[in-house]
Amino acid sequence: MRRPFQPLQILITHLAATDLLVLVLALMTSLTVVHIKNSSDPEDKSTFMCVVDVIQDLLMCGVQLPLVNTTFILINQILALTYPLRYKILVGTRVVKIILSVSYAFVAVTYVAFHVAKLATTSQENCSKYFANDYSVASLWYLAVTCTTMCLLNLILNGVLFVKARAIIGNTGVSRQRTTDEIDTGTTHSDRKLVVTVIWLSGTVVIFWTPLAITFGLRAYITEKEFLTSNEMAVAHVVTGTLGMVNGLCDPLLYGVRLPEVRDGYKKLWSKIRNAVGSGTVRQRQSQTVETLSTSL
């Protein structure tokens, strides 16, 4: 059975790209908030508060994408184990790209639909009022339900992946003509590695994605009830939101440790960045040398 390299590579590339998108949006939000705190101009603060609202709105839409890619990665691996002979027919590069495109389009259309519904049912409002009340409550509850559903789906898929892989490991061990001790030793090692992988994958869902779903639920509840948050509620919101953002940093470590293709990809990416920086430095030195010579002449 050949490893599902190409489709898996595409999915992991998209996962890395969407993780990076979420982290960049979160960083932009943090930097804008810092600017607002340091600014003394009321008009400037009002303008940048609107910028924060827009970026946070995009961020809430974008956090679905890494979870979608994680789900497709699990489905891809289950299909590779369940249908090893028909895998190339069922899951090709073109099929993966079409599925990802449709998924991204659905997320984008849903995002636009919320804004269209908001504009169609309300009068002209300023930025702060636009992102409050009905729009925020509806979109946040939608994200809370969506993330919760996908978290449960990921946990179920991890369980299916574990059962399928363990069955294959058992059949492989029995089919080989080895002694009983050799079979038990090889199977135990493979089972241990499989258990660690599935626990690791399930742990990321429980530790990172579940708090993110809780964050959306908390924000929706706070906005809907229109009350001032207590210190405990504020701390819970910050903690769950931070855990959700940390997921983007842990995905490269998770897949890099478990998959050699990912490690090779990161090595190639790092070498390209290093070569680009090195060539840029050489060009800068050459231009400085030329300027020095022209000045001396």
Per-residue model confidence (pLDDT) at position 172: 59
Mean pLDDT over 266-277 rounds to 70
Per-residue model confidence (pLDDT) at position 262: 59
Per-residue model confidence (pLDDT) at position 183: 45
Domain range annotation of the chain: 5-259
Judged against a pLDDT cut of 60, whether residue 187 lies above it is answered with: no
Per-residue model confidence (pLDDT) at position 244: 65
Per-residue model confidence (pLDDT) at position 70: 86
Per-residue model confidence (pLDDT) at position 190: 56
* Secondary-structure percent of the chain, ordered helix, strand, coil, rounded to 5: 90, 0, 10
Per-residue model confidence (pLDDT) at position 103: 93
Q: Tell me the C-alpha distance between 58 and 244, whole Å.
A: 15
Most confident of 92-96, 100-104, 231-235, 268-272: 100-104
| Helix pair angle (93-121, 64-82), 10° resolution | 150
Judged against a pLDDT cut of 50, whether residue 4 lies above it is answered with: no
CATH class, 5-259 region: mainly alpha
Percent of the chain at pLDDT > 70 equals 65
Q: Tell me the C-alpha distance between 224 and 134, whole Å.
A: 8
Give the number of other Cβ atoms within 10 Å of residue 234's Cβ: 13
Q: Tell me the C-alpha distance between 71 and 151, whole Å.
A: 9
Mean pLDDT over 289-296 rounds to 60
Query: Among 47-51, 60-64, 165-169, which is the least confidently predicted range?
Result: 165-169
Query: Among 60-74, 130-144, 242-256, 257-271, which is the least confidently predicted range?
Result: 257-271
Higher pLDDT, 261 or 112: 112
Per-residue model confidence (pLDDT) at position 1: 41
Judged against a pLDDT cut of 80, whether residue 44 lies above it is answered with: no
Q: How sure is the predictor about 102, in pLDDT bands with cuts at 50, 70 and 90?
A: very high
